Structure 1
Amino acid sequence: MIKKDVVVGIGEVLWDLLPQGKQIGGAPANFAYHVSQFGLNGCVVSAVGNDTLGLEIIENFKDKGLNCIIERISYPTGTVQVEIDDAGIPKYEITKYVAWDNIPYTAELEALAKNTKAVCFGSLAQRSAVSRNTINRFLDTIPRNEDSLVVFDINFRQDYYDKDIICKSMERCNILKINDEELVELGNMFGYEDIDFQDKCWILLEKYKLKTLILTCGINGSYVFTPGKVYFQATPCVKVEDTVGAGDSFTAAFVSCLLKGKSVEDAHLAAVQTSAFVCSVKGAMPVLPLQYVK
């Protein structure tokens, strides 16, 4: 049975093949899992293969109590080879032609869309026409009102993106999430090379009529731009184990707090604290301490 006011992460779900072993990953899954930890109706939408890796993902989500619509199809379950450098920064080698490239649009998915309060999607899962079409149909179906949140979290991975997909995605969202490196790439794409980073953000906010633009800058803090106001939070100093999934936890905490009625400033602080904690432990889906999810 589809719940009301669901918060959806739609796109890739996969195994991150890390030096210490495999862990479930994919930004939509990370997002939905952390949203659920904040007490909301999180749900991940994706596809896995008819293989052992796919079954393990579904069983893992059941064990975590994470709601999901995961179709099992005749493509292999996605994997990503992840190398972590000395600073804890991951480098990804993403397998092509996998299940999450072929997420089907089903009657169950349409029913979910009609009960969706917020959704987070990225550019990576749109590398395939099949999943891109499913994501766009889902976005077209969700109810749109003053309180609904549509988050586009840019993922510039390898060569799996282009200007047209990025533009259309920004037109569909009302919250844009981007990091400092992605902002440079986006600036180059749009001819904003010589413009100050904050001015780039103001231009994007206005051009795409966004409610919010989130810019994360690693150890250099993060910014939240809203019409007429910008917020800044310093990055907490923690011993970094790895940064896999930290950005997804930031987005999940921020969205969860807004949906709970908290201010942008409070949501920003919660997001910073949550992502710092995720950096301090291994893997993208740790259990969050209770003080973070109140």
Structure 2
Amino acid sequence: MQKRFIVGLGEALWDCLPEGTKLGGAPANFAFHTHQFGFDAMAISALGNDILGDQTRKELDQEGLRYIMPIVDYPTGTVQVSLDDEGVPTYDIKENVAWDNIPFNDEIEEVAKNARAVCFGSLAQRNGVSRETIHQFLAATPKDCLKIFDINLRQTFYTKEIIQESLTAADILKINDEELVTIGRLFGYPGLDMENKCWLILGKYNLKMLVLTCGVNGSYVFAPATKSFQETPKVEVADTVGAGDSFTGAFCAAILAGKSIKAAHKLAVEVSAYVCTQNGAMPLLPEEFTRQL
């Protein structure tokens, strides 16, 4: 029987941090963390025929994470990451790179047909090639596949059309408070408070859940007739790179393991707080988290 993978689909790139270069990209981060919870996980992207492409494969092999990342005629993606005094990153994301040009091939289509869950964002849709691949992938998934739109608005790499199409295709939206303000402006939701915006989006796009993260001010999960709130733990922050992706990965893994929304939310908050105490986006999680599933 074909394995059913949890898939992170989109950008694979290298975060050029003050302390060095680390493998990142939201889809790979998401897949890495669901993999740590014992699920069959896979990252799908594209790489260049270059040193960073070779290094990407080497690191993913070392982590035991499955991937499909065809080599294309563009350089492997990089991001210059600057951290402020509180460890919060700003990004300079290089354009015309490999993950902008992910081909939809037979191997990727086969994974789509058997996907158990898929996480995708807006960033990898900035170029038409990868955008088309993402939508072909989503269209090929089975009816019970959980589709998570982790919106990840970066720089100016998004449009209203991309966001609307993605919301229409998704089961779960993951968004932060700053992104919610941007969406409110873009979609013309004036005068609505934060929670009412979330309820409106949940209903308008017939979502199963909407996850809202508000940094140090906690996080929410909205679902029909359900609301969960968790405070953000106070921790010594090394950097916040990849913390949101670990939240999404842990939340998805817990939901697929049959946990309640509240239990999944609690685990996701604890995991992302731990990742904030570590450098880079892919630290190993302690057993106190992974054994819960």
Instruction: Give TM-score scaled by structure 1 length.
Output: 0.98
1:29-68 CA-to-partner distances (Å, cap 9, x unmatched) read 0000000000001100000100011010011000000000
Aligned length: 291
Letter in 2 for 1:187: G
Structure 2 residue 24 is the aligned partner of structure 1 residue 25? yes
Q: Is the 8 A contact 1:184 1:193 kept in 2?
A: no
In the alignment, does 2:65 pair up with 1:66?
A: yes
Q: Distance in 2 between matches of 1:112 and 1:229?
A: 32
* 1:193 positional shift: 3.1
* Residues 1:122 and 2:139 are matched in the alignment: no
Q: Partners in 1 of 2:229 and 2:191 — Cα distance?
A: 23
Query: Given the alignment of the two structures, is residue 231 of structure 1 paired with residue 228 of structure 2, yes or no?
Result: yes
Q: Secondary structure at the match of 2:196?
A: helix
1:173 to 160, 170, 174: 170
Tell me, in whole angstroms, the C-alpha distance in 1 between the residues paired with 2:91 and 2:191: 29
Partner of 1:159: 156
Change (3 A) 1:79 1:3: farther
Matched residues, percent identical? 55
Distance in structure 1 (CA, Å) of the matches to 2:182 and 2:289: 32
CA root-mean-square deviation: 0.8
- The alignment's TM-score, normalised by the length of structure 2, stands at 0.98
Q: 1:221 matched to which residue of 2?
A: 218
Report what 1:45 is aligned to: 44
Instruction: Within 5 Å, give how 1:56-95 maps onto structure 2.
Output: 56-95=55-94
Match of 1:260 among 247, 254, 257: 257
Name the amino acid aligned to 2:104: Y
Q: CA deviation at 1:191?
A: 1.0
Query: Is 1:150 matched up with 2:147?
Result: yes
Secondary structure class of the residue paired with 1:44: strand
Which amino acid is 1:13 matched to?
A
- Gaps of at least 5 residues in structure 1 are none
Q: Which residue of 2 aligns with 1:111?
A: 110
1:280 aligns with 2:280: no
SS in 1 for 2:148: strand
Letter in 1 for 2:232: T
Residue 106 of structure 1 and its aligned partner are, at CA, apart by: 0.5
Query: What is the correspondence of 1:176-187 to structure 2 with a 5 Å cutoff?
Result: 176-187=173-184
Listed as ranges, the gaps of 5+ residues in structure 2 are none
Runs of 4+ aligned structure 1 residues displaced above 3 Å come to none
Deviation at 1:168, TM superposition (A): 0.4
The aligned counterpart of 2:5 is 6
Match of 1:208, as an amino acid? Y
- Report the Cα distance in structure 1 between the residues aligned to 2:266 and 2:248, rounded to whole angstroms: 12
In structure 1, the partner of 2:195 is: 198
Q: CA deviation at 1:3?
A: 4.8
